[in-house]
Amino acid sequence: MKYVLIIGAKSELGIELARLYASNQYNLYLAGRSINDLQDEADYLERTFSIKVTLSNLDVTDFISHQKFYESMTIKPIGVIYAAGYYPNPFSAITNWEESANTISVNYAGAVSLLNIISEEFYQYKLGFIVGIASVSGVRGRAKNYIYGSSKAALIAYLSGLRNKLDKSKVNVLTVISGYVQTKKSPKNGLSKSLVIHPKQLAKKIFIAQQEQKSIIYSSYVWRIIMFIIKILPESIFKKLNI
């Protein structure tokens, strides 16, 4: 029985990923805060796809609990998707350390703590896959959201190093560099459709890329091009931009 662990399963992307993996006959561990809110969804997935869904309460910022959380799984997952994320108010993240620390803890430190534990077992048994959801904000620091961006940049670097290590054990690590995801809470900001992706579409891209054992994907080719241009801009020019 193949299990996939989705951390941050209550997000719209997490739910879409759960539905997609369930439809492809993966059993699920769905983890997150107040996860029992997903009981109806879990029942639906079990009934519709004849798979097993286990809900697990998890606070990614409670680092001490992570080892016990993983050990509680009788059947260890064959794959883990870190979809937990937190986008702060940019001004509050600068002026309020608690907001800044929470951003770092959810987007980066929590991932490191959990994936360090899980990846060691994958490494030992030479089996498994890891997916981390990063952001275009992590490709290069910008004045408007550099606290959030730096946490995602750290995640990208961590996943790169983890991929380099685990490749020797045939364990694939996929980094997803996403642009804007249109959720129910997203503001209607008039962005071009080419810059925005629906959670269902992104989940499909992630599943296909994971199955094909890709290393890095962007949510769209448009974002890949935009971020390539941003990366190659000289710092003398980039620092003058209002982006």
- Give the CA distances from residue 34 to residues 31, 37, 44, 174, 202, in Å, rounded to whole numbers and listed in that order: 9, 6, 18, 27, 24
What pLDDT is attached to residue 212?
98
**Residue range 70-77: mean pLDDT, rounded:** 95
Q: Which two tokens stand for residue 162?
A: 């983890």
Res. 186 pLDDT band, cuts 50 70 90: low
The CATH topology of domain 3-238 is Rossmann fold (3.40.50)
List the chain domain ranges: 3-238
- Give the CA distances from residue 16 to residues 30, 140, 165, 214, in Å, rounded to whole numbers and listed in that order: 12, 28, 29, 20
Instruction: Say how many residues make up the chain.
Output: 243
Q: d(Cα 131, Cα 162) in Å, to the nearest integer?
A: 11
What pLDDT is attached to residue 11?
95
**Residue range 90-101: mean pLDDT, rounded:** 95
What pLDDT is attached to residue 139?
96
Alpha helices in 55-109 (DSSP H): 66-71, 90-95, 97-104
**Residue range 147-164: mean pLDDT, rounded:** 98
Question: Do the Cβ atoms of 194 and 224 come closer than 8 Å?
Answer: no
- The candidate with the shortest Cα–Cα distance to 109, out of 70, 150, 61, is 61
- What tens digit of pLDDT does each residue of 21-45 get? 999 999 999 999 999 999 999 999 9
- What tens digit of pLDDT does each residue of 96-115 get? 999 999 999 999 999 999 99
What pLDDT is attached to residue 183?
81
**Residue range 155-173: mean pLDDT, rounded:** 97
Tokens 């490749």 belong to residue: 167
What pLDDT is attached to residue 182?
87
- What tens digit of pLDDT does each residue of 202-232 get? 999 999 999 999 999 999 999 999 999 999 9
